[in-house]
Structure 1
Amino acid sequence: MTEAGNSELRKCLVVDKHIVFPESIDLSALARHDYRTLDTLVGDAVIVALPSPLCLTFCRSSAEMKALRTKSLVKYDLEDELPLDVDLLALARIDCPGETLVVATDSSQLIPVIEGLRERGKFIACICPEPMLLIGELKSTNKLAKTQLILIQSELGVDVIRISGGRPSEWEWVDADVDSVCACIKRFEGRGHEFREVLAINFAEEFIARLKSQMLNSRVESVAEISMVAEAKRLIEGRSKPICDLRSGPLSVEATFHTTLKPLVFFCVALLIFELSLVGGYCFRGSQYQLRAADSFERQEAAFAKVFPEMEVPVGIVSRLESERRRVIGQKGLGESSTPQVKSLLPVIQSFLEAIPPQFEDECRVSQIHLSSQGIELLIGNATTIADQEKVVSALRNAGFDIPKLSAEKTASGVALRIENAPFVSQKF
């Protein structure tokens, strides 16, 4: 930076270590604040708050703004109203129901400060007029729900801001006297606006009393000085969106992930912890499997040593046992077909249970039953009638059991039901 730029940079007001006021105008009235260098700023992000005299405001209808789709068109629309080079303007727009408030500032006064902050590694989280920071704080406390007009007094003058739909729709900066404030309010009223609810911030009681005498139809609520620090912190942390942000044109800020950096770091840390937990779980599970495999191998060795006490335990126990089985079969001349075939009992149980009629308990009483993988070995019971006996037998036959014709032997409780060696001939599995 040039020497002139350094001189301009030193003329800055730093408040609460994260808000910067560029002192491009005479701010000697703000001597109640501490003057410090930019090196005292805390963190890597700052808010640049502009005093009202550095801001220019214009009100346009929604119909007019439809034709001004880009900021370049808005600049050239304002060219005849400003004694400035429009290419040096930084613009922001605040859309309200039926109208738009356009806020502009001369970037040539701010560029040295912005460059100085960037050289110190600071991220410009927002360039916002001081009254808009205060309105953001009011919005967070739900004080804008019914308010139609806001008056903010500072050492430099009074900001008169009309509120529409909870957002600033018209803004003028006037001298700090009742006559100038009332004249501005009358200009607003001359455009068809009424103000039933008025919020006055940081005014003396005498000023409020004179203001109420001039605004008989309005309820004027006086509020002590409101700090903008809480809103600035929310903007820096990305928890709030600025009502007005002048980071455009010559004051544009390079895209950054600053607002999402903190949650992104938390996400990465959580992801790392999850991955470490996952790897730890896999390692623990792998060690458990290794222990089980070692235990199984030890039991195999013990079993082999018990069966073949005179033989040394081989490396491949399973393959050695399979080889020994084939040797024994070959010596006895049995062949592979003599290997016992194991059949499951589940198909027999399922078919038997599915074959039982719904009214089985009312029609039959079974005292003994034996099932095997081959079928029904024994079933002893009683049926109420011969028809019930035939019904049960027919259902079992349909289920795949080969049941011969039963005798109709009568008993004290009905008809005897006895089935022996009924093979299961229909496999469902």
Structure 2
Amino acid sequence: MIDVHLALPNRVSIGRSFETTADTNEASYDLEVVPAESVKESEGVVIALASTECFSFVRDAQQLKRYRHRDQILYEFEDEIPAEAENMSIGVIKSKASSLFVVANGVGVLPLIQILENERLHISAIAPEIFLVFKYAARCFLELRNSDLVIVKSNCGFDILRLDGGIPAEWYWGGRDIACCLEIIDRVLEALNQPSVFLLNAPALSSGLTERGAVVAGEHEIDLGDALDEECCLIAKGRASPLVDLRNGVLQTRMPFRNILPAARFAAVAFIALQLCGIGACVIKTSQIQSLSAEAQVIHESAFQKTFPEDPLPIGITSRIRSEHRRLIGTRGVGSQQIPVIASALPPAHAFLSGIPDHPQANFKLHRIEIDTEGIRQVSGTADNYVDLEKIANQLRQVGFMVPELSANSVRDGVSLRLEEVRFVPQVEHEK
């Protein structure tokens, strides 16, 4: 006979009576129909398994290399527990040095899953009670996280967890007999040096642990039922996740990812909205391009009518203009050469004005400046000395003027400055 305890709206606990000798593969339930209206539509229930319903195995990294797939693990465990591999559900907790496997025989839980799902209740998780209590206690008591052993006393007996970096690495069930529990603790303590132990509802073990050289880091009494209810409520609402979830294999439930459906829906809506925004932006950009194209077409047609007033508008204005351009080149007799570009004196004038040094750099006076399209036609003036004269020549050479070596005569105000027929070569051409 399997005892089923309903702690609605978010927990269903399953435990085996100690008085029964029923076979593990056979289970009967005395379970009232769970009222679906007692559970909010956005929440669900958590099936909490007692320690008597689960088995634990530890495998190190070297042993895990032998396993290629899940079935290999199940068939190996099949030789050690009274259950067939196809009826097992398995969960794993990975620590630094090893992996803790938690196995449950799903045959006894399947009828309950069917009852809950028939009432349209979502099963948020299937987890051992000890790990639900552990997560609750880890949030409430800081000293638990730094302990080496955690011992919890419940109606089923003593549960012993060895931690590795705050994560359960081994799990033992010691039953209700304190002597049996201490034997298990002795085996665990052999590999630990002055371990710290956290006791939950287990004051009877405090003195025995002290005698064995262990340090009791914390000792607390809590209502395990309230702790389970609070942890299951957080899991059902999607605010927490269990250390072990046995919703796999034979215990696979409908919509196992229902807890993340709201977030998935939000992500899908956001993605669709992003796509719509992208499509809208493309439509707007296309409209702008079409508008600009229409304006350019109008400008081309207007320019064509002004240039060729007697000709009708052709279908391809651009090709017609290119054709007229090629015809014009042929008429001028320049063949495939480009139409000569009109020369301007502005580039050399700009280069000259930007190239002459400022007065703090050189002292000079310019009396006459003549610049044409080729460069400097004539520049005359005076400089204070030969050094200033050379600075002016160097600055003009840097901007593209082919200034020769200067010779000057002494005058009343310094030395004469005279440049004639100095060719200007633009910087790009000069670099080439």
Determine the C-alpha separation between the residues in 2 that align with 1:121 and 1:380: 103
Quote the residue 1:276 is aligned against: 276
- Root mean square deviation, CA, Å: 5.5
Task: Please state if 1:341 is matched with 2:341.
Answer: yes
Name the amino acid aligned to 2:34.
R
Give 1:123 shift: 6.7
Identity %, equivalent residues: 25
Give 1:392 shift: 4.6
Residue ranges of structure 2 left out of the alignment (5+ in a row): 19-30
Give 1:129 shift: 0.6
Quote the residue 1:75 is aligned against: 77
Determine the C-alpha separation between the residues in 2 that align with 1:293 and 1:141: 69
Deviations 1:327-372 (A, max 9, x none): 9999xx8667995514688985898799889x99634647687877
Distance 1:296 1:134, change over 3 A: same
Task: Please state if 1:172 is matched with 2:173.
Answer: yes
Deviations 1:185-238 (A, max 9, x none): 52244225366543425xxxxx85x66677667352334555345644665687
Give 1:293 shift: 4.6
Quote the residue 2:28 is aligned against: none
Q: Is the 8 A contact 1:14 1:38 kept in 2?
A: no
Name the amino acid aligned to 2:146.
K
Deviations 1:81-138 (A, max 9, x none): x5x5566443445455777655333222012234555667777553211121121233
Distance 1:55 1:16, change over 3 A: same
Quote the residue 1:191 is aligned against: 187
Determine the C-alpha separation between the residues in 2 that align with 1:39 and 1:14: 15
Q: Pairwise mapping of residues 200-211 of structure 1 onto structure 2 (< 5 A)?
A: 200-201=200-201
Give 1:383 shift: 4.0
Structure 1 residue corresponding to 2:34, chosen from 26, 33, 36: 36
Q: Pairwise mapping of residues 9-408 of structure 1 onto structure 2 (< 5 A)?
A: 15-22=7-14, 36-37=34-35, 42-43=41-42, 47-57=46-56, 62=60, 69=67, 70-72=72-74, 74-79=76-81, 82=82, 88-94=87-93, 101-115=100-114, 126-140=125-139, 143=142, 144-152=144-152, 156-165=155-164, 166-168=166-168, 169-172=170-173, 174-175=175-176, 180=177, 182-191=178-187, 193=189, 196-201=196-201, 218=216, 219-225=218-224, 226-228=226-228, 231-232=231-232, 242-251=242-251, 261-295=261-295, 314=313, 341-342=341-342, 362-363=361-362, 365=364, 374-376=374-376, 382-386=382-386, 389-390=389-390, 392-393=392-393, 396=396, 401-403=401-403, 408=408
Secondary structure in 2 matching 1:132: helix
Q: Is the 8 A contact 2:174 2:181 kept in 1?
A: no
**TM-score in terms of structure 1 length:** 0.64
Distance 1:338 1:270, change over 3 A: closer
Determine the C-alpha separation between the residues in 2 that align with 1:318 and 1:76: 83
Task: Please state if 1:422 is matched with 2:422.
Answer: yes
Distance 1:185 1:52, change over 3 A: closer
Secondary structure in 2 matching 1:172: strand
Secondary structure in 2 matching 1:401: coil
Name the amino acid aligned to 1:161.
I
- Count of residue pairs brought into register by the alignment: 395
**TM-score in terms of structure 2 length:** 0.64
Secondary structure in 2 matching 1:134: helix
Q: Is the 8 A contact 1:375 1:422 kept in 2?
A: yes
Secondary structure in 1 matching 2:282: helix
Distance 1:334 1:97, change over 3 A: closer
Quote the residue 1:5 is aligned against: none
Distance 1:350 1:86, change over 3 A: same
Give 1:50 shift: 1.1
Name the amino acid aligned to 1:36.
V
Q: Is the 8 A contact 1:71 1:91 kept in 2?
A: no
Name the amino acid aligned to 1:105.
A
Determine the C-alpha separation between the residues in 2 that align with 1:406 and 1:71: 97
